[in-house]
């Protein structure tokens, strides 16, 4: 019995040593690529002619009506679960394929929503924290998005992320809230 344990331990150590590059065997694969991590901060805001609670609901519950991009083209379901631990989720089909674009980390309904995820840059080695504030301004609400990104950073990603959020908030969300955008749903 002890011999078997010793042989198993040797096999494990040999495999670990090979993976770590200790010369037990030569593995195949692409060379390791290094990158310098980076980061950015960007902001986008709009003013919509509704109270903060309606602005919040339009962002979270009405998302499929104004959001016009999905990994799958035509998702089975697109939803924003506005609760801690919830997420921005795209169900590709009824079979369970899909993507969690972001995870909700903080919620104060009608006031503050924070979520972390790479959204369209999934699989690229970047994370992005999004913080949306909903501030009353007379009969309207100022919706302010602060974006903080970090990780593997290609040169054009910061401006691309800001530009994409400008599209969603300024060109899609605000017109939807104002009743100017034809709903998808």
Tell me: the pLDDT tens digits for 111-141? 999 999 998 899 999 999 999 999 999 999 9
- Concatenate the DSSP letters of all residues of the chain into one string: -HHHHHHHHHHHHHHHHHHHTSSSS---SPPP----EEEEEEEEEEEESS-HHHHHHHHHTTHHHH----TTSS-SEEEE--STT-EEEEE-STTS-EEEEEEEEEEETTTEEEEE--GGGTTSSEEEEEEEEEEEETTEEEEEEEEEEEEE--TTHHHHHHHHHHIIIIIIIHHHHTT-S----
Task: Identify whether 127 is part of a domain.
Answer: yes
Report the percentage of the chain scoring pLDDT > 90. Answer: 64
Task: Identify whether 7 is part of a domain.
Answer: no
Task: Identify whether 11 is part of a domain.
Answer: no
Of residues 185 and 105, more confidently modeled: 105
Task: Identify whether 182 is part of a domain.
Answer: no
Model pLDDT, residue 1:
45
Q: Confirm whether pTM is higher than 0.75.
A: yes
Model pLDDT, residue 72:
79
Of residues 173 and 8, more confidently modeled: 173
**Tokens 């991009």, residue located:** 69
CATH number of the domain residue 71 falls in: 3.30.530.20
Q: How confident is the model at residue 5 (pLDDT cuts 50, 70, 90)?
A: very low
Task: Identify whether 116 is part of a domain.
Answer: yes
Task: Identify whether 15 is part of a domain.
Answer: no
Task: Identify whether 10 is part of a domain.
Answer: no
Residue-range definition of the domain harbouring residue 43:
33-177
Task: Tell me the backbone φ, ψ of residue 5, rounded to 5 degrees.
Answer: -60, -45
Beta bridge partners of 103: 87, 116
Domains of the chain: total: 1
Task: Identify whether 9 is part of a domain.
Answer: no
Mean pLDDT across the stretch 60-68? 93
Q: How confident is the model at residue 183 (pLDDT cuts 50, 70, 90)?
A: low
């Amino acid at each position: 019995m002890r011999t078997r344990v010793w042989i198993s331990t040797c096999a494990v150590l040999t495999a670990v040593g090979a993976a770590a590059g200790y010369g037990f065997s030569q593995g195949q694969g692409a060379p390791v690529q290094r990158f310098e991590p980076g980061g950015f901060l960007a902001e986008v805001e709009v003013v919509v002619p509704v109270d903060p609670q309606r602005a919040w609901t339009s962002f979270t519950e009405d998302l499929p009506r104004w959001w016009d991009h999905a990994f799958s083209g035509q998702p089975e379901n697109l939803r924003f679960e506005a609760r801690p631990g919830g997420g921005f989720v795209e169900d590709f089909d009824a079979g369970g394929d899909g993507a969690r674009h972001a995870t909700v980390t903080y919620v104060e309904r009608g006031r503050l929503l924070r979520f972390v995820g790479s959204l369209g840059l999934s699989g690229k080695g970047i994370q992005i924290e999004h913080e949306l504030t909903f501030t009353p301004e007379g009969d309207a609400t100022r919706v302010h998005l602060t974006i903080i990104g970090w990780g593997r950073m290609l040169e054009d990603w910061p401006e691309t992320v800001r530009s994409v959020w400008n599209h969603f908030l300024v060109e899609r969300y605000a017109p939807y809230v104002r009743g100017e955008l034809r709903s998808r749903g």
